Structure 1
């Protein structure tokens, strides 16, 4: 029992140690609770758990300062109560409350942080403790400003005029689909990892001038809503199939996928072979080799990769809600979360794409970047072309992986490759090598 502070350790020294221990405890508790299996692996659940953990740190500062020093820091109960209440509410009520708090939380937290700064300057005599706590308060202020900015930006974006196309329910979430042009076969464009339909602006109108073309946004990005299921290749392909069916866009289809989009095109062709008349793989990620498929190790019984991925994804979404997504060029929290999930499920997607062992004699064009490819890339592109006996493999001179989509001239070469497959499907003829070179 301690009836008074230990004379061997001055109160200020006590306060510095208590502040350090409290900060460390709060951070550790936040991390442990965010990973706890009883906490929902959602953005609201993980965010709530982190807030409760940080609240424990502030509460520990208040309790220990009262118990072991002659300079009680009762003000620390205020941030503990504020953060703890918010955390428990998020854990109890989830996403709906998360959206409501988005407007209330930032200004309230700024006011609290300013009040805490005043209290620390007046009541906390330990210079070391102040140096530990001031950066934490600065982080709270920056988080508040970032979250407030994102909330306002989201509200402004929601008032923007609706884009052409429509949102279609594919089973629990709606995806954006926009189809233009006329003719058959219908071309369906699959953008690469982290990209959306608007990134295909140099290709879509060129193809639409010659046949029907559909672009869409995968779940969680662009105008599409987030999905609750893991977005690996199989789920992406299933969503796309439902989207085209409910959007009254019948096949046959020519699927054109760039980068990761090539994996999804391959998976779609494997799952719905009767609906795919042609393929265009634009510097596509290669599926897993057969040897890797056979040697795939089993997951340990104790591991739950989906839960881990969901928690990582939820953390990313929470960070994006504070404005960190703009650092990497992604403005929307949902978009950043879906992009991270895409990479987290990359292993599953490359294995699922390998289900397409042959494309028989259907028209297949493989377009590869002329520069910037890693060793072995062109060989993997040749292997993709070999899926069909009716193929064209064209290396676009001077192009890069990104420029095949974003550079107007190189995107024109991509569009020519797509139209070459469309022509071969229409005429039932072999692929014309001249179409790949623009001849």
Structure 2
């Protein structure tokens, strides 16, 4: 019983990392966190921040995980830009993008990206890259633009109804993100009271710590986002939608992707802290879920990436870049 309880605690912590993508890695030497890229104005007046670079097709679109901005891809985007046009962006309510209307679910995210690309005149074909919760969002975008999407790379992707699937396999609470939501609620309440930053132990994690060598304007920009109630409202709405309306929309979408190139990358060390024999069980289960997604394409493949945590784009950026290159090559030669 003790071993099972410990396994569930580790699973909860691991599943939390599947969503939370706060950048713990060192910032790039010239941190673009201080300035937006291209602010694209949508029909309702809101602005989304796009960061595009490079040349060559297909255009690669990078979708970050829960609560992460475009800068989650700072190790990956420059490498892809050597051979492709590549765009990352801040979802509504994050980074330099304006807050969007609730709910901030996958359908709203895919719709915003679709509209922003049209306004910015960024045309397909597209290869979609989605990390964690972003894997669900790019699948919904692919449903909106099936003729324009020619391939996908899913980076340790979340799965529709993931909480329910883990709870059914490992017991109640195994797939819960309640702890993350509770923290976001505390941070929202403090932000609305203008009580951030705070030395209160319950609120310290609401605001970012300074990074070594970080420019003052970059630190100020990160702090400005953290003390903005819109950031926390967005996080709560996104969390509340993940295993509900977002999962329902994904499940109602395309059941198969035909022969579209699809690579699902699984982090080999995502559950490295789980006790044995539970660790092997969880890894096998997680890999199996990713194989289910890969099997939706006749040219789908699931691959485990060694020495990679859930934050694979930090740990093993070259694995992501290589998968994009492979999908791009496959998309150009057509079905074998």
TM-score, reference length from structure 2: 0.68
Q: Which region of structure 1 is more displaced relative to structure 2, 365-374 or 254-263? A: 365-374
Distance 2:334 2:207 in 1: 43
Counterpart for residue 291 of structure 2: 382
**1:377 alignment partner, SS class:** helix
Q: Could you tell me how far 1:337 is from its partner in structure 2?
A: 2.6
Q: In 1, distance between residues paired with 2:97 and 2:116?
A: 11
Map 1:28-39 onto structure 2 (within 5 A): none
Matched, 1:353 2:262: no
Contact 1:288 1:353 in 2 (8 A): no
State the partner residue of 1:107: none
Q: Check if 1:222 corresponds to 2:95.
A: yes
Matched position secondary structure for 1:171: coil
Aligned to 1:41: none
SS in 2 for 1:254: strand
Matched, 1:336 2:232: yes
1:170-185 matched pairs, under 5 angstroms: 170-185=43-58
2:113 to 224, 232, 240: 240
Aligned pair 1:371/2:284, yes or no?
A: no
Distance 1:419 1:229, change over 3 A: same
How far 1:252 moved relative to its partner? 1.2
Once residues 43 and 69 of structure 2 are traced to their aligned partners in structure 1, the CA distance between those partners, rounded to angstroms, is: 18
State whether residues 231 and 345 of structure 1, in contact with CA within 8 Å, keep that contact through their aligned partners in structure 2.
Answer: yes
1:46-72 deviation line (CA, Å, top 9, x unaligned): xxxxxxxxxxxxxxxxxxxxxxxxxxx
2:76 to 203, 217, 221: 203
Per the TM alignment, residue 169 of structure 1 is displaced from its structure 2 partner at its CA by 2.4
1:326 Cα offset (Å): 5.1
Instruction: Give the structure with the higher percent helix.
Output: 1
Instruction: Please report how far the alpha carbon of residue 180 of structure 1 lies from its aligned counterpart in structure 2 after TM superposition.
Output: 1.0
1:262 is the counterpart of 2:99: no
Residue of structure 2 in register with 1:327 after alignment: 205
Q: Is the CA contact (8 Å cut-off) linking 2:291 and 2:302 kept in structure 1? A: yes
Give the TM-score normalised by structure 1.
0.53
- SS of residue in 2 equivalent to 1:175: strand
**Aligned-partner SS, 1:231:** coil
Contact 1:170 1:243 (C-alpha < 8 Å) held by counterparts: no
Aligned match for 1:418, one of 299, 324, 333: 324
Which structure 2 residue ranges, 5 or more long, are not aligned?
A: 1-32, 166-182, 209-222, 272-281
> In structure 1, what is the Cα distance between the partners aligned to 2:43 and 2:306?
40
2:211 match = none
How far does residue 270 in structure 1 lie from its aligned partner after superposition? 1.7
Deviation at 1:272, TM superposition (A): 2.1
Q: Does residue 405 in structure 1 map to residue 283 in structure 2? A: no
Post-superposition Cα deviations, 1:336-371, rounded to whole Å, max 9, x if no partner, equal 332222111112112212222111101101100012
**CA spacing shift, 1:239–1:326, aligned 2, 3 Å:** farther
Say which of 39, 56, 62 aligns to 1:166: 39
Deviations 1:211-261 (A, max 9, x none): 110110000110101012311011100000001110110011111000000
Question: What per-residue deviation string (whole Å, max 9, x for no partner) do you get for residues 128-164 of structure 1?
Answer: xxxxxxxxxxxxxxxxxxxxxxxxxxxxxxxx96443
Deviation of 1:316 (Å): 4.7
CA contact (8 A) 1:313 1:341 kept: no
CA displacement, residues 388-415 of structure 1 (integer Å, 9 cap, x when unaligned): 001222110121112x1222xx011111
1:198-221: CA deviations, max 9, x gaps?
111011011111111011000011
Number of equivalenced pairs: 248
Equivalent-residue separation in structure 2 for 1:161 and 1:192 (angstroms): 20
Q: Secondary structure at the match of 2:115?
A: helix
Quote how far apart the aligned CAs of 1:267 are: 0.9
Bigger radius of gyration: 1
Secondary structure of the corresponding residue to residue 248 of structure 2: helix
